[in-house]
Structure 1
Amino acid sequence: METREVRVVRDFMEQVRSGVDPDAAHRFMADRVRAHQVHSEEAVTVERTPGQYADHVRDMLAAYGDFGLRLDELFGSGDRVYARWIQSGRHLGEVDGLPPTGRPVTQVASAVYRVAAGRIVEYWIQIDRHGLRAQLSHT
C-alpha cells in the first residue's frame, strides 16, 4: 500500500516536475521549501516557493521542450520519500550559456523528499550536471 507521503511525491513528479502542470506546485509544496542541491560536489541550499518551482519547470520546458519523465524508483520510509528518474527532451533553448542544438538530451536524477502535513517541505537532489553539459557541448 502506498503511503500518503509517497503519493504526494508521485503526484508532484507526475504533474509538476514532469512539466504537465507546473502551476500545481502549490498543491504539493509548502509555502517555502528548502532545496539542498549538489553543484560540482559542493552542496548548496536554496529556498523555493511553489511559484518559483513552477517557474523553474517552465524554464526546463523552454530549454528542453515537452520532455519526458520516467520515474524509475519511488519508495518511502516515514516522512522521507526517495525518487529516481530519467528526463529526456531536446536541447531547444539556451542552457548554461550554450545555444540550442536540437539534439536529444537525457538527465538522470534522484532526490529524497521530506513530506510534512501532506506537502513537500524539503528535498535533497542530485543531478548528473557534468553528463548534461557533455551532451550539450558535444560537437
Structure 2
Amino acid sequence: MSTESNKAVARRLYEEVITNHRPELVDEIVAEDVVDETLGADAVALAREGFRQHVEGVWATVKDVKASVLDTVAEDDRVVVFWRIEGVQQGPLFGVPPTGRHFVGHSISTITFRDGKIVRYRVLPDRLGIQSQLLEPRA
C-alpha cells in the first residue's frame, strides 16, 4: 500500500472510528494480530479485540469525543499522526477521577501498517496538559 493510502486509513481511525463512533470499521482497518502498545503487557494477547476495547474505553471516558487529525507524516509502512482530542471527561482519565469538565489535548501517534491495515499502534498523549485542565481550580 502507498504512504498516501496508509495516511488515509490513519485519518479514518480518528475521524470515523473515534469521532463518529463507528466500531464496525475496526475490522476493516485493523489487522487481527494488531499490537496496541497502549495496552501494555496484554497488547499481543488481546490483539484486535484489545484495540476495540481501547476505542470503546475512549468513548466511555470522553463524552462527545472529537478526534481531529492535524497533520500526518509517512514513510514506508509507518505513519506519524499529530492529532487533537476534545470532549467532556466522564470517566477516569490519566489518574483523574471523573470531573465533568471539557478538555482539549494533543497527541502524537505512530501507526505501522501491513497490507493497508494497522498492525502496531503507539500513542504519546499530553497527559500533563490534560490533567492540568481537569484538575485546575474552578473560579
TM band (smaller chain): 0.7 to 0.9
- Report deviation, 1:124: 2.9
Alpha carbons of 1:35 and 1:2: their partners in 2 closer, same or farther (altered >3 Å)?
closer
Residue 125 of structure 1 and its aligned partner are, at CA, apart by 1.8
3-state SS of 1:67 partner: strand
- Aligned residue for 2:56? 58
Moved more, 81-90 or 26-35: 26-35
1:33 corresponding residue in structure 2: 34
Structure 1 residues without counterparts, runs of 5 or longer: 38-43
Superposed counterparts of 1:33-112, under 5 Å: 33-37=34-38, 46-47=43-44, 48-96=46-94, 98-112=96-110
What corresponds to 1:121 in structure 2? 119
1:111 and 1:95, CA in 2 relative to 1: closer, same or farther beyond 3 A? closer
Stretches of structure 2 that go unaligned for 5 or more consecutive residues are none
Q: Percent identity?
A: 24
Shift of 1:122: 1.1
Change (3 A) 1:90 1:6: same
Q: Check conservation: 2:86, 2:104, Cα contact below 8 A.
A: yes
TM-score (norm 2): 0.80
> Which amino acid in 2 is paired with 1:102?
G
TM-score of the aligned structures, taking structure 1 as reference length:
0.80
After superposition, the CA RMSD in angstroms is 2.3
The count of corresponding residues between Structure 1 and Structure 2 is 133
Q: Larger strand proportion, structure 1 or 2?
A: 1
| Alpha-carbon spacing, 1:128–1:9, altered in 2? closer, same or farther (3 Å) | same
